[in-house]
Amino acid sequence: MEIKIANKKYTLYFGWDFLDQINRLFGAKMEVEGQEINTNTGGLAFLEVGLASYDPIAVQKAIQAATSTETTKPALVNIRKAVEDKLVNDPKDYKAFVDELRDTVKKDKFLQAILTISDK
């Protein structure tokens, strides 16, 4: 899957590095002695909920995670602009993009296995 951000094409990668980033961005948080700690676990389930509701922040974070292995990563401001442009200018295209993104995550055998185990 590819996306164009700030006139540059990026290939979205789904696998170990994607999961690592998703867990950092969406990981379950807990409070210990007054400090919030990110457990860096369980992020994929939260991402799935965010994508199912077409949440632009979830889409932005998924793109961040999926481009984390790129030599030149897209800037956060450019990712947000690309997501916002899709959503505002062509909501049907935005919905189709998010559906494809969600389906692509679910098709990755590694991530699919995690989601399957999490559902039980």
Quick: pLDDT tens for 39-97. Answer: 878 889 899 999 999 999 999 999 999 999 999 999 999 999 999 999 999 999 999 99
Range of the domain at 15: 2-118
Pairing of strands 29-32, 35-38: antiparallel
How far from 22 is each of 16, 32, 91, CA to CA, in Å? Answer: 10, 22, 25
The Cα 20–Cα 50 span in angstroms is 17
**What's the confidence (pLDDT) of residue 28?**
78
The Cα 32–Cα 56 span in angstroms is 30
**What's the confidence (pLDDT) of residue 101?**
97
pTM of the model: 0.88
**What's the confidence (pLDDT) of residue 38?**
78
The Cα 6–Cα 59 span in angstroms is 16
Secondary structure class of 11 (helix, strand, coil):
strand
* Number of folded domains that form the chain: 1
**What's the confidence (pLDDT) of residue 29?**
80
What's the CA dihedral at 31, 37, 40, 43 to 10 degrees?
A: 50
Task: State the amino acid at position 55 in one-letter form.
Answer: D
**What's the confidence (pLDDT) of residue 1?**
93
